[in-house]
């Protein structure tokens, strides 16, 4: 069964605010100043479009494909950006499952997955990283904002409790198949990506990383 985020969509922003304040949004947009030169962007699982809105306001030329499995999330994102001048001409919305539907293009110089990769168990995560790597440009960048298991023991305990609660909630409400957090870094590195920038919040529980693809000899 594919996950269904439609029920959650109208409540997603306020639930986030009462649980994490503004730190998730800070995490989403933390790398924006470093991707100002991007021209062709693929955003996957952007939800209600808050990254997309911020991106369009800082980059006035890039064309964007934004893909999500949830029609309700896509509708919220579409409504959110409709007031930004010129946005409708440079953004295409796609309803698709990133795990197996065809992706809308190739040669993306920026891929963005904020709080998406944590929805997948290990085998699906590996496959999703490979699929997205295959449509990235050879010099592409990738923003990954997500939860992580912090190194600090005190923070790690807090993170475990939070993650247990969040996975139980998301499994009941949306039907995601993941039961726990899997680190995507080994899969990204295996695909030729290297981390080039990092920002963290809540003692390393929340992390935004910018990955850069290493050019391959061809
Ligand atoms: C936890 S929400 C994160 C939303 C947003 N990126 C954020 O920063 O909060 C996960 C999003 O990914 C989408 N999603 C989950 N599984 C997906 C899949 N297999 N293919 C495409 N989108 C998916 C959901 O519909 C939802 O919008």
In Å, the largest CA–CA distance within the chain is 50
Q: Is the dihedral of CA 45, 185, 31, 181 positive or negative?
A: positive
Q: Is the pLDDT of residue 217 over 70?
A: no
Enter the pTM of the model: 0.96
Helices and strands: H and E segment counts in the chain: 8, 7
3-state SS, residue 63: strand
- For residue 217, the CA-to-ligand 1 centroid distance in Å is 34
| Mean of pLDDT values over 192-214 | 97
Contact status, residue 122 vs residue 129, Cβ threshold 8 Å = no
pLDDT of the residue at 154: 86
Residues having CB within 6 Å of any atom of ligand 1: 3, 5, 28, 45-47, 51, 68-70, 73, 97-99, 114-116, 119
- Contact yes or no for 65/109 (Cβ under 8 A): no
Smallest Cα–Cα separation from 147: which of 62, 91, 206?
A: 206
Q: What is the pLDDT of residues 46-98, one digit of tens each?
A: 999 999 999 999 999 999 999 999 999 999 999 999 999 999 999 999 999 99
- Would you say 101 and 68 are in contact if contact means Cβ atoms under 8 Å apart? no
1 pLDDT band, cuts 50/70/90, is confident
**Ligand 1 centroid to residue 77 C-alpha, Å:** 12
């Amino acid at each position: 069964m594919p996950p269904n985020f439609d029920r959650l969509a109208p409540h997603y922003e306020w639930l986030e605010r009462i649980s994490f304040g503004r730190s998730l949004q800070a995490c989403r947009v933390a790398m924006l100043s470093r991707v100002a030169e991007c021209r062709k962007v693929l955003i996957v699982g952007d939800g209600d479009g808050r990254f997309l809105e911020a991106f369009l306001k800082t980059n006035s030329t890039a064309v964007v494909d934004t893909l999500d499995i949830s029609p309700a999330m896509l509708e919220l994102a579409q409504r959110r950006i409709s007031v930004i001048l010129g946005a409708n001409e440079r953004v295409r919305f796609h309803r698709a499952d990133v795990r197996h539907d065809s992706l809308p293009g190739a040669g993306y110089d920026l891929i963005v997955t904020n709080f998406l990769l944590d929805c997948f168990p290990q085998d699906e995560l590996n496959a999703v990283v490979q699929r997205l790597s295959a449509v990235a440009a050879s010099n592409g960048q990738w923003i990954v904002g997500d939860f992580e298991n912090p190194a600090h023991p005190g923070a790690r305990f807090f993170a475990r409790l939070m993650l247990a609660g969040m996975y139980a909630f998301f499994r009941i409400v949306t039907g995601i198949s993941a039961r726990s957090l899997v680190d995507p870094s080994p899969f990204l590195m295996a695909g030729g990506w290297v981390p080039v920038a990092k920002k963290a919040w809540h003692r390393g529980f929340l992390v935004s990383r910018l990955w850069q693809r290493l050019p391959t000899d061809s």
